[in-house]
Every structure is written in C-alpha cells, then in structure tokens.
Homo-oligomer: A and B are copies of this chain.
Amino acid sequence: MKRARPYDREAALDAALNLFWTRGYHATSLKDLEAALDMKPGSIYAAFSSKEALYLAALERYFRQNRDSLRTIGEEAGSPLKALADLMRNVARCSNDDPNCRPCMLIKTLVDVTTDDDEIARYSRQYLDEMRGEFVSLFELAKSKGELPPDADPVRLARRYQSELSALKIEAHCAIDREGLFALAEDLAQQVEQLRVSPGKAKKRAKRSS
C-alpha cells in the first residue's frame, strides 16, 4: 500500500487534545484516535508509545498553551485585574464549540480519571498548581501596579479566582440558560474588579512610592 507522508507531531497532538478534551480518556478509543490523527495504529504507537503517553503529551500541550496565553495577557494588559475579569466574561460570551465553553482540560481530567490512572492524575494536579502560580503572578502584578490594596493576598486571590473560573467553564459546559450564565459571569467578574482600590487612591499611592 502507498505509504502516507510523515505525520506532523504538532498537528497530531492538537487533534488528540481536541478529541480527549471532547470525549475524555476512557471513552476515546484507538479507532477514534486513528480517525482524528489520520494515522494507523502502528504509527500512533511508534510515535507516542501508548494511549496514556499520548494523553499525557496532549495534556502538556494544553497546559503550555494555556500558560503561554495567560502570560501574554499579563504582558499586554494595562490592567491585570481587568484582564482577569474579562477572562470570566469571555466564558459567558463564547459559543458552544469554543474551547472556553468546555471545562478546563485539567479539571476534566481529574474528574474523569480513576485510581488506575495515577500518572495522569499526578500530572494534571501538577499543571493545575503551575496554572495557579501563573494566576498568583497576575495578582502580584496587579498589586505592584497599585490595583490592589497592600494587604491583598495574591495567593488566596489566585486560588479563589482559579476555582471560580473553572466553575464558570463547567457551568458553560452544562448549558445552563445563557442569561443565567451571563449573570453568573458578570457577578464573578465584578467581584474581581471590586478587589481594586479606587483609582484616585491608586494614583496617590503610586506617586508616593516613586
């Protein structure tokens, strides 16, 4: 038979990620993966060793993309706090096939996997911890910019924020009514924005420190 051209690892991982994110680890079969990656079993196993290894590679890819995206937001945002609030609003605005309408892949993995999937669970937790660290950095940045009171605790705020963002994505996935989702997202976004000290006070404090 005519041999296919060599596979594109990045494209294969994207396809695998999308499939696992949609169907979960246990409900995704090799048959599904063959179709999505356009590779035959021999090739899949040559390239990725096992279904589990492929899942872990996809998970890492998800984590890196999310972390990088968050860092870009952090670098580009005039107001980190507003950026964080807007991330929540974006969840409510998304359409059904938007990744924002899906639960966080790391959370989905932890809810989905069983005690037989220790390695997968361990990596998911580790990536969740690292994502929390990224949120901490964003809250620290907000604090350093005078957007938060000096006694604000970025670690606590980040933990709360990550939990609530995650909940919001799950609500989006569970397809509660659109209006309800908007209301919930707005509540949570405003809660983030209400953390700030008022702009006048922030400017005065900034002037004093320079």
Is there an interface contact between B174 and A160, defined as CB atoms closer than 8 Å?
Answer: no
On whether the beta carbons of A125 and B174 are closer than 8 Å, the reply is yes
Bound Cα distance A125, B183 (Å) = 19
How many copies, total?
Answer: 2
Interface-facing stretch out of A70-78, A165-173, A199-207: A165-173
The answer to the question of A15 belonging to the interface, with a C-beta cut-off of 8 Å to chain B, is: no
Q: Does A46 contact B (CB under 8 A)?
A: no
Question: Interface 1/0s, chain A 98-113, versus B by CB < 8 A?
Answer: 0000010001101111
- Interface residue A11 (Cβ < 8 Å from any Cβ of B): no
For residue A113, which residues in chain B have a CB less than 8 angstroms away from its CB? 27
Question: Beta-carbon contacts of A110-131 to B below 8 Å, as 1s and 0s?
Answer: 1111111000000011001100
- Counting CB contacts under 8 A, is A196 at the interface? no
User: Which positions 130-185 of chain A face chain B at CB distance < 8 Å?
Assistant: 156, 159-160, 163-164, 166-168, 170-171, 173-176, 180, 183-184
In the complex, the chain B residue whose C-beta lies closest to that of A124 is B174
- Point out the residues of chain B lying under 8 angstroms from A183, CB to CB: 156, 159
**A107, B184: Cβ atoms closer than 8 Å:** no
A180 touches B166 (CB 8 A): no
With A159-B183, A163-B184, A187-B160 known as contacts, the answer to whether A111 contacts B173 (CB < 8 A) is yes
Do B114 and A24 touch (CB < 8 A)?
A: yes
Contacts of A159 in B (CB 8 A): 176, 180, 183-184
Task: Give the distance in Å from the alpha carbon of A2 to the alpha carbon of B22 in the complex.
Answer: 46
In the complex, whether A208 has a CB less than 8 A from a CB of chain B is no
- The interface residues of chain B lying within 8 Å CB-to-CB of A116 are 27
Residue among A110, A115, A167 with most chain B CB within 10 A: A167
Set of chain B residues within 8 Å of A5, measured between Cβ atoms = none
